[in-house]
């Protein structure tokens, strides 16, 4: 290797999030890289690793210690807040993510939205803040700790049910906006608790995905709220939306968020063109085909394609399938290092 790494993983990630120079492109996992193999390795299986801070920290640390990523992320699912709000849960086993049972939603209208007192002490929210505190103690000087707080759109799916929430956006958009305004307080509360616990950055998933809503929907219902989050939360924010999102990227680029975590359904160069320097990008190695079903060589080709487009941080497009082979995940940082060495050679 003919180039020298001059930054710690943490410095590398924080610089990339701030749009500053880096010694090489960081390998980042804004969602998470937990797999069954890693759960077995450190004896921290689902669903317990989603309920207990110590197990969550142990499993998250493997993203750095075993896979060589520059960040760790201890929030593995998208359900911690919804569970604390009282949604009915399907906890599953170690080979499946926990989910919210959405056929029996807890709320019907914006008036129902209430944040229970002491919600941060609920087991499933405390697991995340506890894990961040432990990771901060163990790895806080070396590696970037990325927390995660759900945006109001995702929370709305869970508490109202996807169908009834989306129908409401057509029938009564003012009511939808009122609900989002109230739900965003949960995003801020949990996000700030994670920052206070030691999170260096926060992923902000808000699943206004390409297959469910249009770019104009994003502009009407979410752009302002996401812009507001930048001031409300005192850490760099990484917005995460799955699916085709090129049509909303120009709006996303105006929110002031630090980065957008994008899906492999969007070409890296087309995404760079769409945001036009307004926001950094992180992604977008394909999960179901490449990381899950192919081998290191195909992973490497996708990493190179992202690097050539100028994507600022490289990682899987979303939470990886739990049966993903770890050699495929390890290939992401390795490919970045080789590509950088060749360019400096
Ligand atoms: Zn996703």
Q: What confidence score (pLDDT) does residue 32 get?
A: 87
Residue 67 belongs to some domain of the structure? no
Encode pLDDT of 55-81 as tens digits.
999 999 999 999 999 999 999 999 999
- pTM to 2 decimals? 0.97
Encode pLDDT of 290-323 as tens digits.
999 999 999 999 999 999 999 999 999 999 999 9
Residue 213 belongs to some domain of the structure? yes
Closest by CA position to 90, among listed 104, 110, 72: 104
For 208-217, give one letter per residue: b (16+ CB within 10 A) or e: bbbeebebeb
C-alpha 164 to ligand 1 mean position (Å): 21
Statement: residue 102 has pLDDT above 90: no
The pLDDT of 230-235, averaged and rounded, is: 97
% the chain with pLDDT above 90: 95
C-alpha 3 to ligand 1 mean position (Å): 34
Per-residue confidence at 200, pLDDT binned at 50, 70, 90? very high
C-alpha 31 to ligand 1 mean position (Å): 8
Between 35-39, 213-217, 255-259, 299-303, the lowest mean confidence (pLDDT) is in 213-217
Is residue 34 within 8 Å of 44, Cβ to Cβ? no
CA distances from 345 to 219, 224, 292, 339 (A): 45, 45, 32, 10
The rounded radius of gyration (Å) of the Cα atoms in the chain is 19
Q: What's the mean pLDDT when you consider all of the chain?
A: 96
Statement: residue 257 has pLDDT above 60: yes
Encode pLDDT of 114-150 as tens digits.
999 999 999 999 999 999 999 999 999 999 999 999 9
C-alpha 345 to ligand 1 mean position (Å): 36
Name 280's Cβ contacts closer than 8 Å, sequence gap at least 6. Answer: 16, 17, 19, 258, 259, 260, 312, 313
Statement: residue 324 has pLDDT above 60: yes
Angle at 148 between CA 326 and CA 290, to 5 degrees: 30
Residue 61 belongs to some domain of the structure? no
Neighbours of ion ligand 1 (CB under 5 A): 242, 318
The pLDDT of 82-93, averaged and rounded, is: 96
C-alpha 244 to ligand 1 mean position (Å): 11
Which residues constitute the domain of residue 174?
9-32+98-117+149-344
C-alpha 112 to ligand 1 mean position (Å): 27
Q: What confidence score (pLDDT) does residue 3 get?
A: 76
**Domain harbouring 249, CATH code:** 3.20.20.210
Encode pLDDT of 202-220 as tens digits.
999 999 988 888 999 999 9
- C-beta neighbour count of 24 within 10 angstroms: 22
Number of domains making up the chain:
1
C-alpha 266 to ligand 1 mean position (Å): 13
Residue 81 belongs to some domain of the structure? no
Residue 308 belongs to some domain of the structure? yes
Is residue 58 within 8 Å of 34, Cβ to Cβ? no
Residue 126 belongs to some domain of the structure? no
Q: What confidence score (pLDDT) does residue 345 get?
A: 59
DSSP collapsed to 3 states, the chain:
CCCCCCCCHHHHHHHHHCCCCCCCCCECCCCCCCCHHHHHHHCCCCCHHHCCHHHHHHHHHHHHHCCCCCEECCCCCCCHHHHHHCCCEECCCCCCCCEECCCCCCCCCHHHCCCCCCHHHCHHHHHHHHHHHHHHHHHCCCCEEEEECCCHHHHHHHHHCHHHHHHHHHHCHHHHHHHHHHHHHHHHHHHHHHHHHCCCEEEEECCCCCCCCCHHHHHHHHHHHHHHHHHHCCCCEEEECCCCCHHHHHHHCCCCCCEEEECCCCCHHHHHHHHCCCCEEEEEECHHHHHHHCCHHHHHHHHHHHHHHCCCEEEECCCCCCCCCHHHHHHHHHHHHHHHHHHHC
Residue 69 belongs to some domain of the structure? no
Encode pLDDT of 138-197 as tens digits.
999 999 999 999 999 999 999 999 999 999 999 999 999 999 999 999 999 999 999 999
C-alpha 30 to ligand 1 mean position (Å): 10
C-alpha 123 to ligand 1 mean position (Å): 24
C-alpha 83 to ligand 1 mean position (Å): 19
**Residue 154 CA to chain centroid, in angstroms?**
12
Residue 92 belongs to some domain of the structure? no
Statement: residue 1 has pLDDT above 60: no
C-alpha 152 to ligand 1 mean position (Å): 15
C-alpha 317 to ligand 1 mean position (Å): 7
């Amino acid at each position: 290797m003919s180039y020298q790494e001059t930054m710690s993983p943490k410095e590398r990630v924080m610089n990339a999030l701030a749009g500053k120079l880096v010694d090489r492109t960081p390998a980042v996992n804004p969602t998470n890289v937990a797999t069954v193999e890693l759960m077995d390795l450190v004896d921290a299986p689902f669903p317990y690793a989603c309920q207990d801070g110590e197990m969550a920290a142990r499993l998250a640390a493997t993203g750095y210690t075993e896979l060589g990523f520059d960040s760790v992320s201890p929030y593995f699912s998208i359900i911690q807040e919804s569970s604390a709000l009282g949604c009915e849960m399907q906890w599953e086993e170690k080979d499946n993510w926990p989910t919210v049972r959405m056929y029996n939603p807890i709320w019907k209208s914006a008036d129902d939205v209430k944040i229970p007192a002491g919600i941060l002490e609920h087991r499933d929210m405390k697991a995340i803040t506890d894990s961040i505190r432990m990771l901060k103690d163990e790895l806080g000087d070396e590696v970037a700790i990325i927390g995660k707080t759900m945006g109001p759109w995702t929370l709305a799916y869970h508490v109202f049910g996807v169908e009834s929430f989306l129908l409401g956006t057509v029938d009564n958009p003012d009511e939808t906006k009122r609900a989002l305004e109230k739900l965003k307080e949960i995003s801020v509360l949990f996000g700030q608790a994670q920052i206070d616990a030691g999170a260096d950055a926060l992923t902000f998933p808000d699943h206004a995905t390409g297959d469910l809503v249009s770019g104009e929907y994003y502009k009407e219902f979410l752009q302002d709220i996401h812009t507001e989050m930048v001031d409300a939360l005192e850490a760099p924010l990484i917005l995460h939306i799955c699916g085709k999102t090129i049509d909303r990227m120009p709006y996303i680029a105006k929110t002031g968020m630090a980065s957008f975590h994008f899906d492999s359904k969007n070409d890296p160069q087309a995404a760079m063109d769409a945001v036009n320097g307004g926001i950094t990008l992180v992604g977008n190695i394909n999960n179901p085909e490449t990381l899950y079903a192919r081998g290191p060589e195909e992973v490497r080709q996708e990493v190179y394609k992202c690097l050539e487009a100028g994507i600022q941080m490289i990682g899987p497009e979303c939470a990886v399938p739990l049966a993903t082979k770890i050699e495929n995940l390890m290939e992401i940082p390795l490919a970045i290092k080789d590509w950088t060495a060749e360019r400096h050679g």
